[in-house]
């Protein structure tokens, strides 16, 4: 019996000690800014693990690290040094898909770690792509309005082939999303959410892989072409967070974060302390139940599901993502900047 009590005591002691140690991490320490061999703006980011990270950006740039940023392989996608690849999706250490935004609006794929890239889709002269998201092998690209509808592409084979989604939702002339971080779209099994920005900022939602769509208004800052939702993240089956603001007023901390408690079906403004300005990326880090949001004047975090935000760094970033193993948080930004969250 004494042995039973001793084991119980040790279990409770170490459990409490571990809990106390975990609770001591009240906030992120900041960013470890990692040197890269490029100086271009990096808006595309896809961390797979703590060690394998893909990135892409202006001047056709791609990067890959297999050792958590100690060394980088990089180059220009298919020689397209005038193209801005604003989103990238890595599948493994060898395979990735990169999406350009403006002209030409193209999608390229590599299967040999970036040594060669093959064009898998080329859009029309009217196309402008804003973001890309995958769930396993199924992927979607969201693009600005063309011919009265959102331009949405779908792939069912990890980005090898793409086709236009004929059931994409209707759009007002000139409607668009923001290609600031590639995170204005979320895909989870058959569910799709994407955000529009500018004069009117809406959430579009499909529960069946894009066959039928619903449209929901939001109270985020809007009314000017520079305003609206720039990034979305999902915390759980019901809770979604959107961030944005006005990219022409980076320090304006007004109506720049919204929350949905009903899976994106309705939205409300955050009523607590807001992020410290315009924010272009947001990600949920489940290990500490933190939300991290980035922008040109720094980074904020929330530890209460987005109801209050606190600035912890002045580092400027465009995009932020949690790796697919949920063990680390990475950000990309101007001048070839890559950062890893310290905590």
Which tokens hold the place of 250?
Answer: 């980076």
Structure-model confidence comparison of residues 21 and 34, the more confident one: 34
Which tokens hold the place of 201?
Answer: 């900022």
Mean pLDDT of 301-320: 98
Distance CA 152, CA 163 (A): 9
Residue 7 included in any domain: no
Asked whether the predicted pLDDT for residue 78 surpasses 50, the reply is yes
CATH of the domain at 71: 2.130.10.10
Number of domains in the chain: 1
| pLDDT-based confidence at residue 23 (cuts at 50, 70, 90) | low
Residue 279 included in any domain: yes
Phi, psi of 22, deg, nearest 5: -65, -40
Residue 21 included in any domain: no
Distance CA 209, CA 220 (A): 26
Question: What letter does residue 118 receive in the DSSP assignment?
Answer: E
- 3-state percent helix, strand, coil for the chain, nearest multiple of 5: 10, 45, 50
Asked whether the predicted pLDDT for residue 34 surpasses 90, the reply is yes
Residue 6 included in any domain: no
Residue 156 included in any domain: yes
**pLDDT of res. 113:** 98
Residue 10 included in any domain: no
Which tokens hold the place of 321?
Answer: 């993502």
Question: Nearest 5 degrees, angle CA 280-CA 281-CA 285?
Answer: 160
pLDDT single digits (tens) 90-136: 999 999 999 999 889 999 999 999 999 999 999 999 999 999 999 99
Structure-model confidence comparison of residues 5 and 174, the more confident one: 174
Which tokens hold the place of 261?
Answer: 């408690």
pLDDT single digits (tens) 223-248: 999 999 999 999 999 999 999 999 99
Domain boundaries, position 120: 33-342
Cα Rg, the chain, nearest whole Å:
20
**pLDDT of res. 330:** 98
**pLDDT of res. 103:** 86
Percent of the chain whose predicted confidence (pLDDT) is above 70: 93
Residue 253 included in any domain: yes
Q: What is the mean pLDDT of the chain?
A: 93
Residue 182 included in any domain: yes
110-114 LR contacts (CB < 8 Å, sep 24+): 110/62, 113/64, 113/73, 114/62, 114/64, 114/73, 114/74, 114/75
pTM of the model: 0.92
pLDDT single digits (tens) 256-301: 999 999 999 999 999 999 999 999 999 999 999 999 999 999 999 9
| pLDDT-based confidence at residue 24 (cuts at 50, 70, 90) | low
pLDDT single digits (tens) 213-223: 999 999 999 99
């Amino acid at each position: 019996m004494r042995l039973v009590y001793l084991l119980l005591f040790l279990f409770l002691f170490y459990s409490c000690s571990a809990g106390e140690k975990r609770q001591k991490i009240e906030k992120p320490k900041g960013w470890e800014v990692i040197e890269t061999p490029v100086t271009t703006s990096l808006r595309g980011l896809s961390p797979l693990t703590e060690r394998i990270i893909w990135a892409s950006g202006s001047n056709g740039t791609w990067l890959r690290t297999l050792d958590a940023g100690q060394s980088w392989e990089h180059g220009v996608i298919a020689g397209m040094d005038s193209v801005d690849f604003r989103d990238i999706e890595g599948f493994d250490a060898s395979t990735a898909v990169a999406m350009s935004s403006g002209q030409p609006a193209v999608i390229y794929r590599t299967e040999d770690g970036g040594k060669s890239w093959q064009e898998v889709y080329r859009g029309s002269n009217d196309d402008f792509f804003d973001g890309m998201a995958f769930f396993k092998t199924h992927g979607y690209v969201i693009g600005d309005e063309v011919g009265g509808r959102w331009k949405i592409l779908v792939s069912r084979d990890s980005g090898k082939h793409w086709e236009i989604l004929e059931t994409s939702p209707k759009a007002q002339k000139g409607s668009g999303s923001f290609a600031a971080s590639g995170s204005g779209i979320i895909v989870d099994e058959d569910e799709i959410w994407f955000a529009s920005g500018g004069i009117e900022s809406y959430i579009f939602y499909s529960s069946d892989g894009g066959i039928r769509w619903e449209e929901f208004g939001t109270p985020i800052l809007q009314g000017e072409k520079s305003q609206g939702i720039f990034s979305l993240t999902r915390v759980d089956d019901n809770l979604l967070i959107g961030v944005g603001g006005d990219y022409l007023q980076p320090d304006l901390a007004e109506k720049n974060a919204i929350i949905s408690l009903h899976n994106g079906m309705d939205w409300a403004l955050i009523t607590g302390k807001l992020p410290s300005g315009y924010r272009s990326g947001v990600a949920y880090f489940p290990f500490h139940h933190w939300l991290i949001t980035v922008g040109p004047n720094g980074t904020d975090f929330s530890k209460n599901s987005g109801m209050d935000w606190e600035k912890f760094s002045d580092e400027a970033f465009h995009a932020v993502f949690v790796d697919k193993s949920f063990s680390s948080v990475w950000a990309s930004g101007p001048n070839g900047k890559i950062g890893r969250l310290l905590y």
